[in-house]
Structure 1
Amino acid sequence: MVDSARGVLYPQRLPQFHRLPAGAASDLVAWFWIPEWSLPGGAVSRQDIVAYPALNLVVERDAVTLSGATTRISHRELRGTGWAVGAMLRPAAVAALTPAPAALVDREIVLDEPRLRDEVADAMAAGDRVRAAARFADWLIDRVGRVDEAARQANALVDVLLGAGAASTPDEAATRLAVSTRTLQRMAHRYVGVSPAAMIRRRRLQEAAEALREDARIDLAALAADLGYADHAHLTRDFRAVLGFTPSSYRTSQP
């Protein structure tokens, strides 16, 4: 299982925020995430995320949206009062929701799913986040049906690329899964929408940001080496290309 807190760049800016386990939908969902906010008039809470390479299904009061994997930093500005209930999808859930996850990279679509919207909204109106996640899980289980062996292998791909002791190269991941590198690439395209190499780069960026938040004095050259970058300059280029700023400036922006 991957770390559910890694992708948030500025945790101190978050509104009330909860991550709930997937429960009965553990083959389909990594975790459920639920922000709730109530901001005074005119106030804005900007959230900056270097998201996991995964699809997210999100329920709000008026809509259900499916968002694809991202290749850059993502932003959301919160205003007024509201909530969202999101599911970070495991690959096994993806095929039931879209035939082409690659077409959703860096974009989102609205789904016409009134049952899911209404059941989750009823639970949130009652202040019951656990019931909201349970109804969400039940809906996904009904929608996806039986998880076949190919989908389970796709789940294993994500675990190998993003989980504890993750593979450092696509070739290493393919060896661990006993498939060819070409098969690994096809699985990632079919179930996630981005390449295995892109997934590894995203994980490294998340780990770098997490390390910089936790230790203001960490040596950047040593951090780059620990994460598998060729050198400090390589880490800085990746950081700037995706996030728009350098590791040093990110470190100094932390409280």
Structure 2
Amino acid sequence: MPSGERLEDSRQPRGVLYPARLPTFDRIAPPEGVASLVRWFWIPEWQLQPGRSSRQHLIAFPACNLVVEKDTVGLAGPTTRSSHRDLTGTGWGVGALLRPAAVPHFAGDPAAVRDTYLSMDLPELHQLVHRAMTGPGDRGSRHREAVEVFSKWLAGEVPPPDHEALLANEMADVIDSDPSIRTVKDATARLNISARSLQRLAGRYVGLPPLAMIRRRRLQEAAERLRTEPGTSLADVAADLGYSDHAHLANEFRSVLGITLSGYRRDVTP
């Protein structure tokens, strides 16, 4: 296994609204050589009975994904709302959650691909990953091989990140991992850059404003708390995540995801 790589069978991935409905799903950390380009690889596989479907709902990370599927390669742009996909039949996907440094290579203006899924003409990448996913071996070995060939292709395709691109990576890491960052001002203070510089980095490398990135993390955390801590009051969840009150969280949850806090909790509580 390449250095730095690990295989995780994740049934509770952050950003997935209904983890219990997931098909077989693995999340694999990138090899060290592409760690500045990819946050992780994700690989679902499914086999559904004829006439059946499985709807997958997401609060996607504020990022682009490069995805190889059975018949195509696509670029999923950053999203401004929740999204879903209906799975049918038999299939698989190998996705790379791109770090900001890799985004300009595939989307010169990531804001232009918000809420879109673009077909990409990348036949070599498709051939390499398709061969790995349909070859012999068990699930783990096929997935590791797919990540290895995907990673080697990326390393040869995307130039090494410069200082600005690495700063964009740091921006995304800080916003996503530090719950004390609740405003743009908090992020600029942590990164020691101006609000204008922060806005420029987010626009060029993510395609969403910094405040939208912060709000996405908070909504993901809110959904995760509702799933994993069913006894916690909605008011406590709002307070812990820095919302001014329960109503503020409820309004944002409903406006972005199209569902109510109480309705979501009811749906995910066993």
Same fold, judged at TM 0.5 (above): yes
Identical positions, percent:
52
Partner of 2:13: 5
Partner of 1:101: 110
Question: Mapping of 1:144-159 within 5 angstroms?
Answer: 144-159=158-173
Cα distance per residue 1:132-165 (max 9 Å; x no partner): 0111111111111221111100000001110144
Unaligned ranges ≥5, structure 2 = 1-9
Partner of 1:62: 71
Cα distance per residue 1:192-243 (max 9 Å; x no partner): 0000000011111000000000111111111111111110000000111011
Match of 2:237 among 217, 223, 239: 223
Question: Mapping of 1:1-255 within 5 angstroms?
Answer: 5-23=13-31, 24-126=33-135, 127=137, 128-165=142-179, 167-254=181-268, 255=270
Q: Does the aligned pair in 1 maintain the 2:179–2:241 contact within 8 Å?
A: no
- Structure ranking higher on relative contact order (CA contacts 8 Å, 6+ apart): 1
Q: Does the aligned pair in 2 maintain the 1:34–1:86 contact within 8 Å?
A: yes
Report runs of 4+ in structure 1 exceeding 4 Å deviation.
Answer: none
Q: Does the aligned pair in 2 maintain the 1:224–1:235 contact within 8 Å?
A: yes
1:29: Cα distance to partner? 0.5
AA in 1 matched with 2:123 = P
Distance (Å, rounded) in 2 between the aligned partners of 1:116 and 1:241: 37
Cα distance per residue 1:93-126 (max 9 Å; x no partner): 0111111100011112111000000000000001
AA in 2 matched with 1:19 = R
AA in 2 matched with 1:175 = A
Q: Does the aligned pair in 1 maintain the 2:43–2:94 contact within 8 Å?
A: yes
Q: Does the aligned pair in 2 maintain the 1:160–1:166 contact within 8 Å?
A: no
Q: Does the aligned pair in 2 maintain the 1:57–1:66 contact within 8 Å?
A: yes
AA in 2 matched with 1:14 = L
Report the number of matched residues. Answer: 253
Distance (Å, rounded) in 2 between the aligned partners of 1:146 and 1:98: 16
Distance (Å, rounded) in 1 between the aligned partners of 2:178 and 2:150: 27
Distance (Å, rounded) in 2 between the aligned partners of 1:56 and 1:177: 25
Distance (Å, rounded) in 2 between the aligned partners of 1:178 and 1:37: 45
Cα distance per residue 1:35-65 (max 9 Å; x no partner): 0001110010110001111000000121110
Distance (Å, rounded) in 1 between the aligned partners of 2:186 and 2:49: 50
